[in-house]
């Protein structure tokens, strides 16, 4: 897996990028710290009033760089669209990041999450690496090249503020403001993580189906000593029904679900094998608290995470939770909270019906209510934009990247695929696992900011004539 380095890269690196970083890195850090101070937690409605002031602050950074900016409203949280026109002969690229953040209530924080600190070459604070830091390094790469008069594609940037709560209104924003968007040749995203110490280009993400499964068999709890064995216990039935969905090895057993998976190409299989050879199983065990795994083979684990759907039960309602107490009542109504991670190509509505049929085969009174769904995403690893990303990672991070899949979901991406049909998604990671993604003491390393800046500069230079 190799990419072609820009013919003038060494000169551009030494005469343009390094001088810019030496002059502007302090400004980039101060801007990042400014953005972290906005507690833009989209999962908490009482923080939604932070979103528009935050986007105004971002707009104030972008406008002196030559961007035209506009805040796009929605029934939920807004987005910011910024446009930079360079030449009518050059293609358009759409760049996506999000400006909302995870909650930050864990007691393990050693700093105040929204009062950023620069310490030991890292900026600490919620949102530093997910996703405000990567957004800024990409933005400054654009500004550096533009300032130097180097060729750039036409660029639109969209900053969302609902990613961490499922991108519930992002598709509506794209539809409502479709006339504001150009037709991009590709879409660049930097909201992902390195594969260990290796730069990573994510080519596959899973979709997500969230559902509530319910069964009611009466109107009141019953005494098991009076009617036990005669009255149906809905918790027993629901557990039995849920067990029909997944086997002891973690394989989904819902009829039809596995049979309808899209095929995996030989190119993707080869890429997966290369990544499996880099995979650090011991680190995975350490990062997951020594979790018991279904396999000790890296390739098998990656196939499970990337290429196969999952079925998970996360909790129950209507059940006993008091520690050390056993009440002998039979509940009359119970609910289970479940999710399924779906691979690209699976239709959440189709899978929901297959799930419902499977559960109702055990008891026809079981109901399934979808709480939310998004589709998985996929980009072929051998397209020209991916190869440009490979060369960019080699130039900027100094190492060959790994093509990786993800069991996670970025809700905006299937909306991009729906609206901008045929535009490849290119996901280039700037963050490290050690940065505390979604965890206490989140941070962004200045070295990653520098290298991410260089990587994005190389990638965007290559798109000008691609």
211 in any annotated domain = yes
Domain boundary among 358, 374, 390: 374
Q: Are 206 and 408 in contact (CB under 8 A)?
A: yes
Residue pLDDT, tens place only, 402-411: 999 999 999 9
Do 321 and 448 fall into the same domain? no
Do 192 and 251 fall into the same domain? no
Contacts of residue 408, Cβ cutoff 8 Å, sequence gap at least 6: 205, 206
370 phi, psi to nearest 5 deg: -70, 130
Q: How many domains does the chain have?
A: 2
Which CATH number does the domain housing residue 224 bear? 3.30.70.360
CA distance 265 to 159: 33
Residue pLDDT, tens place only, 339-392: 999 999 999 999 999 999 999 999 999 999 999 899 999 998 888 999 999 999
Contacts of residue 316, Cβ cutoff 8 Å, sequence gap at least 6: 235, 238, 334, 335, 336, 337
The domain of 223 spans 207-266+305-374
> Could you write out the DSSP letters of every residue in 183-236?
--SEEEE---B-BTTB-EEEEEE-EEEEEEEEEE--SS-EEHHHHBTTB--HHH
Strand pairing of 367-374 and 329-330? unpaired
Do 339 and 426 fall into the same domain? no
Do 201 and 211 fall into the same domain? no
Residue pLDDT, tens place only, 269-312: 998 999 999 888 888 888 788 999 999 999 999 999 999 999 99
Do 152 and 76 fall into the same domain? yes
**What pLDDT does residue 144 have?**
99
Do 200 and 221 fall into the same domain? no
The chain-wide mean pLDDT, for the chain, equals: 95
Do 113 and 48 fall into the same domain? yes
Burial of 115 (0-12, 13-18, 19+ CB in 10 A): exposed
Domain boundary among 374, 401, 420: 374
66 in any annotated domain = yes
**What pLDDT does residue 221 have?**
92
Which CATH number does the domain housing residue 87 bear? 3.40.630.10
4 in any annotated domain = no
Do 194 and 126 fall into the same domain? yes
**What pLDDT does residue 68 have?**
99
98 in any annotated domain = yes
Helix, strand, coil percentages (3-state) for the chain, rounded to 5, are 40, 20, 40
**What pLDDT does residue 434 have?**
84
The two tokens of residue 15 are 């005469």
**What pLDDT does residue 357 have?**
99
300 in any annotated domain = no
Domain boundary among 356, 374, 392: 374
**What pLDDT does residue 452 have?**
98
431 in any annotated domain = yes
Do 244 and 172 fall into the same domain? no
3 in any annotated domain = no
Angle of helix 18-36 relative to helix 51-62, nearest 10 degrees, comes to 160
Do 175 and 214 fall into the same domain? no
282 phi, psi to nearest 5 deg: -65, -40
Q: What is the DSSP letter of 246?
A: B
429 phi, psi to nearest 5 deg: -75, 140
Do 339 and 255 fall into the same domain? yes
Per-residue pLDDT of the chain (466 residues; tens, 9 = 90+): 556 788 899 999 999 999 999 999 999 999 999 999 999 999 999 999 999 999 999 999 999 999 999 999 999 999 999 999 999 999 999 999 999 999 999 999 999 999 999 999 999 999 999 999 999 999 999 999 999 999 999 999 999 999 999 899 999 999 999 999 999 999 999 988 888 788 999 999 999 999 999 999 999 999 999 999 999 999 999 999 999 999 999 999 999 999 999 999 998 999 899 999 988 888 888 878 899 999 999 999 999 999 999 999 999 999 988 888 899 999 999 999 999 999 999 999 999 999 999 999 999 999 999 998 999 999 988 889 999 999 999 999 999 999 999 999 999 999 999 999 999 999 999 998 889 888 999 999 999 999 999 999 999 999 998 7
442 in any annotated domain = yes
Do 197 and 248 fall into the same domain? no
């Amino acid at each position: 897996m190799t990419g072609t380095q820009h013919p003038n890269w060494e000169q551009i690196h030494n005469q343009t990028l390094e001088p810019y970083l030496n002059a502007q890195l302090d400004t980039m850090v101060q801007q990042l710290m400014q953005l972290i101070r906005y507690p833009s937690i989209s999962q908490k409605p009482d923080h939604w009033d932070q979103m528009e002031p935050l986007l105004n602050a971002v707009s104030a950074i972008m406008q002196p760089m030559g961007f035209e900016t506009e805040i796009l409203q929605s029934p939920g949280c807004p987005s910011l669209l910024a446009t930079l026109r360079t030449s009518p002969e050059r293609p358009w690229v759409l760049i996506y990041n999000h400006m909302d953040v995870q909650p930050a209530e864990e007691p393990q924080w050693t700093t105040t999450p929204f009062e950023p600190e620069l310490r030991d070459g890292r900026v600490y604070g919620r949102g530093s690496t997910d996703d405000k830091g990567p957004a800024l390094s990409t933005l400054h790469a654009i500004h550096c090249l533009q300032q130097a008069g180097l060729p750039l594609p036409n660029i639109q940037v969209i900053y969302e503020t609902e990613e961490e709560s499922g991108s519930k209104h992002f598709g509506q924003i794209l539809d409502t403001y479709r006339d504001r968007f150009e037709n991009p040749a590709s879409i660049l995203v930097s909201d992902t993580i390195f594969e260990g110490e290796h730069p990573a280009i994510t080519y596959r993400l899973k979709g997500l189906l969230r559902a509530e499964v319910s069964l009611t068999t009466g109107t009141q709890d019953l005494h098991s000593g009076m009617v036990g064995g005669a009255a149906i216990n809905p918790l027993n039935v629901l557990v039995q029904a849920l067990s029909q969905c997944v086997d002891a090895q973690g394989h989904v057993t819902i009829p039809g679900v596995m049979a309808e998976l899209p095929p995996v190409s030989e190119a993707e299989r080869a890429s997966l094998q290369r990544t499996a050879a880099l995979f650090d199983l011991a680190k995975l065990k350490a990062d997951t608290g020594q979790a018991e795994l279904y396999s000790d083979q890296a390739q098998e684990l990656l196939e499970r995470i990337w290429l196969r759907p999952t079925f998970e039960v996360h909790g129950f309602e209507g059940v006993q939770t008091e520690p050390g107490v056993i009440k002998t009542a039979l509940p009359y109504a119970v609910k289970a909270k479940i999710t399924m991670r779906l691979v690209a190509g699976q239709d959440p509505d189709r899978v929901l019906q297959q799930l419902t049929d499977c559960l109702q085969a055990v008891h026809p009174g079981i109901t399934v209510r979808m709480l939310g769904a998004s589709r998985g995403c996929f980009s072929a690893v051998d397209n020209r934009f991916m190869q440009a990303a490979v060369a960019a990672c080699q130039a900027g991070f100094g190492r060959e990247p790994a093509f990786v899949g993800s069991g996670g979901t970025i809700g905006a991406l299937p909306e991009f695929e729906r609206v901008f049909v045929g535009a490849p998604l290119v996901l280039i990671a700037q963050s490290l696992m050690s940065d505390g993604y979604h965890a206490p003491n989140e941070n962004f390393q200045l070295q990653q900011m520098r290298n991410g800046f260089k990587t994005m500069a190389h990638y965007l230079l290559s798109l000008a004539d691609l």
